């Protein structure tokens, strides 16, 4: 719901009374209201509440710097009144779709403004103010308090000192200074040395951008040979017929391409030769992103021995330092066979003092090795302790 109060406040720029609108933008948000009159907002093409440019969502100082205009609005009362009357006459004679004054005569767009333009809503602007009683430790309303219970920002932070008139006139705006510094340090798209590359990578497409919409934007730079959309990875590859068209498209679209309200990422593609020479790295996908390891997978198995003769034969974990001549081993009968009566047990034999093994038919039964009797098998230690 929105409340309307005719001539409820005076404009904070021209000091004339105007109709005030007040509303709550959402749950747990503070009430917002219009701060300047319609005439002042139309003169600068800004919002009546936040005083940001209606086309780019940027402060006036950033907008004027990008369009290279200098609109000197008078600040004295008499000159301000005269200037406002002329602006109202000009607004009344226009159709209302284009800005008036120097802004209406400025170029339509700027590369810097397209890079800095905000395409998504900034809901933090609607949060409640910080509770001053909570900061002093005296707030007793708890969760019912309509203000934020958070620590305030550093008072030395330039963003903590903002003035609505400085924002409107485009002077000494700390938010604008921060954005202009960001624009000066934004990354650049380097042209690859391989002249055979004529493909551009477009990322962050989502599910709403179609092939026709991509072609409608990129066909202005030159002939398009193929357009490939990879829906699973939400990206596309635009291949141009000439290298000159690809370079022009990369220059005009890098950090400036917005389709259906989505800012898309534009990069150069890679040549087939370069992709063939690159070896796949462990934990790196084809797109170059680092993949997290999957928990619970077994580790790598040890390599098998080269020959069976090289495999260890110490199945009983015997001490290697013990002499084999003094170790007598008597294996129990296989499971399922009754043990022999007393006095007819399996013969004892010495491991190291024997000659060549007897033939298979003449070997005593106790000499046969059964895998189920291996002490290293799973559960062997528990069974042995139970016995």
pLDDT value at residue 369: 59
Look at residue 155 and tell me whether its pLDDT is greater than 60.
yes
Per-residue pLDDT at 181 exceeds 80: yes
Predicted pLDDT at 115? 78
Q: How far apart are the first and last CA of the chain?
A: 82
- At residue 300, the pLDDT reads 67
Two structure tokens written together for 332: 């129990």
pLDDT at 350: 47
Lowest average pLDDT, out of 20-24, 134-138, 259-263, 364-368, goes to 364-368
Q: Which string of b and e fits 305-335 if b means at least 16 CB within 10 Å? A: eeeeeeeeeeeeeeeeeeeeeeeeeebebee
Query: Is this prediction's pTM over 0.85?
Result: no
CA atoms within 13 Å, Cβ hemisphere of 379: 2
Segment among 223-227, 310-314, 334-338 with least mean pLDDT: 310-314
Higher pLDDT, 16 or 372: 16
pLDDT of residue 272: 60
Average pLDDT, integer, range 8-23: 92
Give the bridge partners for 240, in sequence order.
224
Q: Does residue 280 have a pLDDT over 50?
A: no
pLDDT score of 48 more than 90: yes
d(CA 149, CA 26): 18
Lowest mean pLDDT among 38-47, 110-119, 278-287: 278-287
- Closest listed residue to residue 11, CA positions, set 50, 39, 46: 39
Which residues, 6+ apart, have CB-to-CB distance to 273 below 8 Å? 194
pLDDT exceeds cutoff 60 at 359: no
Average pLDDT of span 286-290: 52
What does the pLDDT read at residue 232? 85
Give the per-residue pLDDT at 353: 45
Give 229's strand partners: 236
**What pLDDT is stored for residue 349 in this prediction?**
44
Whose structure tokens read 């399922």?
336
Confidence of residue 345 (pLDDT cuts 50, 70, 90): low
Q: What is the pLDDT of residues 235-250, one digit of tens each?
A: 899 999 999 899 888 8
Is pLDDT at 292 greater than 60 in this prediction? yes
Share of the chain above pLDDT 90, in %: 18
- The overall average pLDDT reported for the chain is 77
Please tell me the distance from the alpha carbon of residue 265 to that of residue 232, in angstroms, as a whole number.
16
Q: Are 229 and 211 in contact (CB under 8 A)?
A: yes
- Assign 281 a pLDDT band (cuts: 50, 70, 90): very low
Average pLDDT, integer, range 381-387? 51
pLDDT of residue 135: 92
Name which residue leads in pLDDT, 375 or 20.
Answer: 20
* Cα Rg of the chain (Å, integer): 40
Nearest partner of 223 among 247, 205, 242, judged by Cα: 242
Out of 64-68, 87-91, 95-99, 152-156, least confident range: 95-99
Q: Give the confidence band of 351 by pLDDT, cuts at 50, 70, 90.
A: very low
**Containing H/E element for 240?**
strand 235-240
Q: Is 90 exposed, middle or buried (0-12, 13-18, 19+ CB in 10 A)?
A: middle
Tokens of 206: 């989502």
What are the angstrom distances between the C-alpha of 153 and each of 95, 157, 240, 302, 378? Answer: 44, 7, 50, 57, 62
Query: Which residue is associated with the tokens 């043990």?
Result: 339
- What proportion of the chain, given as a percentage, has pLDDT over 70? 70
Please check whether residue 5 is in contact with residue 15, taking contact to mean a CB–CB distance below 8 angstroms: no
Average pLDDT over residues 153-172: 83
pLDDT reading at 24 higher than 90:
yes
Report CA 285 to chain centroid distance, whole Å. 16
Q: Is the pLDDT of residue 189 over 60?
A: yes
Strand order across the beta sheet in which 2-10 lies = 2-10, 17-23, 32-33
SS3 166: helix
- Overall average pLDDT of the 190-214 stretch: 86
pLDDT at residue 344 is higher than 80: no
Q: What is the distance between the alpha carbons of residues 189 and 197, in angstroms, rounded to a whole number?
A: 14
Tell me 109's DSSP state.
-
Where do runs of H (alpha helix) occur along the chain? 38-44, 60-67, 77-93, 102-105, 111-116, 132-135, 164-169, 174-184, 211-218, 243-253, 272-277, 380-386
Q: Most confidently modeled of 5-14, 207-216, 305-314? A: 5-14
For the chain, give the number of residues.
Answer: 387
| pLDDT of res. 326 | 46
């Amino acid at each position: 719901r929105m409340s309307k109060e005719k001539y409820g406040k005076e404009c904070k720029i021209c000091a004339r009374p105007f109709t005030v609108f007040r509303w709550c933008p959402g749950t747990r948000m503070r009430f917002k209201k219009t701060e300047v009159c319609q005439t002042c907002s139309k003169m600068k093409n800004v919002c009546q509440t936040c005083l940001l440019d209606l086309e780019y969502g940027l402060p006036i100082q950033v907008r004027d710097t990008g369009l290279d205009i200098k609109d000197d609005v008078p600040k004295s009362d008499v000159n301000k009144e005269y200037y406002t009357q002329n602006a109202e006459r000009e607004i009344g004679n226009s159709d209302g779709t284009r800005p008036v004054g120097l802004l209406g005569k400025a170029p339509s767009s700027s590369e810097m403004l397209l890079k800095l333009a905000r395409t998504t809503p900034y809901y933090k602007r609607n949060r409640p103010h910080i509770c001053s009683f909570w900061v002093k430790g005296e707030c007793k309303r708890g969760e019912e308090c309509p203000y934020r219970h958070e620590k305030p920002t550093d008072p030395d932070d330039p963003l903590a000192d903002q003035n609505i008139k400085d924002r409107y006139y485009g002077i000494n705006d700390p938010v604008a200074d921060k954005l202009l510094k960001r624009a000066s340090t934004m990354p650049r798209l380097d042209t690859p040395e391989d002249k055979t590359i004529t493909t551009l990578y477009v990322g962050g497409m989502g599910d709403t951008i179609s092939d026709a919409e991509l072609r409608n934007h990129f066909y202005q730079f030159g002939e398009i040979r193929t357009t490939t959309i990879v829906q699973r990875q939400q990206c596309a590859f635009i291949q141009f017929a000439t290298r000159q068209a690809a370079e022009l498209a990369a220059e005009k679209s890098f950090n400036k391409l917005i389709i259906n309200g989505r800012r898309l990422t534009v990069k150069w593609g890679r040549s087939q030769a370069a992709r063939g020479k690159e070896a796949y790295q462990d934990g790196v996908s084809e797109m170059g992103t680092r993949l997290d390891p999957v928990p619970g997978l077994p580790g790598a198995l040890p390599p098998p021995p080269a020959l069976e003769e090289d495999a260890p034969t110490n199945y009983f974990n015997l001490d290697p330092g013990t002499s084999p001549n003094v170790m007598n081993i008597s294996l129990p009968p296989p499971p399922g066979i009754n043990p022999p009566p007393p006095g007819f047990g399996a013969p004892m034999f010495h491991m190291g003092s024997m000659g060549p093994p007897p033939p298979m038919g003449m070997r005593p039964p106790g000499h046969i090795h059964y895998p189920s009797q291996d002490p290293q098998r799973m559960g062997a230690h528990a069974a042995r302790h139970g016995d």
